[in-house]
Amino acid sequence: MRTLLFFDQIQAGKGGKEHTDVPLSVEKGGIGSYAMFEKYFKQEGLALVATMYAGADFFEDNKQECCEKVVNLIQKVKAEVVICGPTYDYDRYTQTACHLAEYINKNSECRAIVCCAPEKNHETIEEYKDKIVMVKMPKKGGVGLNESLHHMVQIAKYVGSNHSLEALSMYLY
């Protein structure tokens, strides 16, 4: 299954909290925190095509342009699913990921999911949980991270294949 990732600059390894102006960029394959869940991609048979990333301020200031570029990339590489995150408890990254996932789902055949922690994200989860698939995740450094990363990849596979999520519903918001 052809898969894309969407990270912020921190998860991509392209800057810290002070670099929220990192422009939308794309790199072939997996970068940054992808190494933490690469083994689950292989277990579930997902093929990572590329990793997209942007800083929250850049995305917010160029929201429509970023969303259109992502959908154009999805069509170009024939991606079937996009994993936005894991965003952990980073609230601005979660808001960006949710907006992008909703846009992708409305404007392409590709499906997008968001993976986030409840801490600092309660309002965003309430706003989007009925609009997009949102996977439960611990905050950065929290207990159960490896299990939730595996669930994230399993759920992406199910969503990309249009399978029912009933068996995995306990991992969703």
pLDDT value at 110 more than 90 = yes
Q: In whole angstroms, what is the distance from residue 89 CA to residue 67 CA?
A: 22
Question: For residue 144, which of 111, 114, 112, 170 has the smallest C-alpha distance?
Answer: 170
pLDDT value at 161 more than 90 = yes
pLDDT in tens, 5-16: 999 999 999 999
Work out the pLDDT band at 141, boundaries 50, 70, 90.
confident
For position 142, what pLDDT does the model report? Answer: 85
Q: In whole angstroms, what is the distance from residue 88 CA to residue 111 CA?
A: 20
Work out the pLDDT band at 147, boundaries 50, 70, 90.
very high
Average pLDDT estimate for 50-55:
98
H or E element, residue 112: strand 111-116
pLDDT in tens, 16-49: 999 999 999 999 999 999 999 999 999 999 999 9
Angle between helices 91-107 and 63-77 (to 10 degrees): 50
The percent of residues above 70 in pLDDT, for the chain, comes to 100
For position 32, what pLDDT does the model report? Answer: 97
